[in-house]
């Protein structure tokens, strides 16, 4: 896996962690461009390699009346506009084999959701597009088992695989990150820590996932100290009114201070 293969990814020689960040779901063009503009400005200043994240649709919802998207093609075109406007790569998650080819026309990285990472046909379809594939570690999987998910990508002749840890189920309604898994998974591919989803509190009786956003800084700092290659964060300028995963997203106004602190920690780690 080589970061500089990802189109338009800047600052790959900065010796910094890379960042996948943006809203949970694409709610509209104005909100996507607004978030992207602010994150691009911050990451340019801090020389952080940045990929804009946004789901073109949300297939994994607790309730049938939950927001799932504004339309596949409409959302994918917004992702393309973000990329063209700010000259940054984009990532979106896919849920079916048909999604892989469609999304690959618009984005640079295809993300396999944690619940679907053992779906061989889906992973293979993503790998065959030639795009970088971000494999979310299943909440039910060991770090060692992610080797096989990576192999499904590389066996298709695609060496561009990333592993993202998003925590492991602890009981019914909590997630725990086992940092012992970071060095294990780094043997197979670059490892990203999904900071915000690791703080989810799923399976609430209301059918709406909860979260602990106050711990985002703690989790992110721990990830950098543990040696992750990148961080994944969902962020929004109004999390309370976001249409998906607002309970565990980072308020956009807090992002610059957090990233500044994380860059300082990374420099310290690099000098040890």
Share of the chain above pLDDT 70, in %: 95
Chain mean pLDDT for the chain? 93
Q: How confident is the model at residue 62 (pLDDT cuts 50, 70, 90)?
A: low
Predicted confidence band at 246 (pLDDT cuts at 50, 70, 90)?
Answer: confident
Confidence of residue 203 (pLDDT cuts 50, 70, 90): low
Read off the pLDDT of each residue in 76-105 and give the average, rounded to a whole number. Answer: 98
Threshold 0.85, pTM exceeds: yes
C-alpha span between 12 and 10 (Å, rounded): 6
- Give the pLDDT of residue 205: 53
The pLDDT value recorded for residue 53 is 97
Q: What is the pLDDT of residue 175?
A: 87
User: In angstroms, what CA-CA distances link 51 with 62, 95, 200, 215?
Assistant: 27, 20, 22, 23
Does the pLDDT at position 171 exceed 60? yes
Q: What is the mean pLDDT of residues 215-239?
A: 95
Bigger pLDDT: 85 or 212? 85
pLDDT of residue 210: 65
Assign 4 a pLDDT band (cuts: 50, 70, 90).
confident
**β-strands 191-194, 200-201 pairing:** unpaired
Residue 1 pLDDT class (50, 70, 90 cuts): confident
Predicted pLDDT of residue 68: 76
Which range (41-45, 54-58, 74-78) has the least confidence?
54-58
């Amino acid at each position: 896996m080589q970061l500089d293969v990802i189109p338009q990814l800047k600052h790959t020689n900065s010796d910094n962690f890379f960042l996948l960040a943006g809203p949970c779901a694409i709610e509209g063009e104005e909100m996507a461009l607004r978030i992207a503009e602010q994150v691009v400005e911050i990451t340019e200043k801090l020389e952080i390699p940045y990929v804009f994240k946004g789901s073109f649709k949300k297939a994994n919802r607790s309730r049938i009346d939950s927001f799932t998207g504004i339309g596949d093609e409409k959302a994918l075109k917004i992702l393309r506009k973000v990329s063209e406007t700010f000259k940054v790569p984009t990532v979106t998650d896919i849920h079916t084999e048909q999604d892989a080819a469609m999304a690959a026309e618009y984005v640079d990285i295809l993300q396999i959701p944690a619940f679907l990472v053992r779906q061989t046909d889906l992973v293979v379809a993503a790998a065959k597009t030639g795009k970088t594939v971000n494999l979310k570690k299943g909440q039910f999987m060991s770090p060692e088992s992610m080797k096989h998910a990576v192999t499904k990508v590389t066996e298709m002749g695609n060496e561009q695989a990333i592993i993202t840890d998003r925590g492991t189920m602890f009981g019914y309604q909590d997630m725990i990150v086992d940092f012992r898994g970071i060095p294990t998974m780094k043997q197979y591919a670059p490892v990203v820590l999904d900071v915000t989803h690791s703080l989810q509190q799923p399976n609430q009786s209301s059918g709406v996932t909860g979260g602990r956003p106050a711990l985002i800084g703690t989790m992110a700092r721990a990830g950098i100290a543990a040696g992750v290659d990148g961080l994944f964060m969902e962020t929004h300028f109004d999390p309370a009114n976001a249409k998906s995963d607002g309970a565990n997203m980072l308020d956009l106004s807090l992002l610059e201070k957090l990233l500044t602190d994380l860059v300082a920690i990374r420099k310290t780690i690099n000098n040890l």
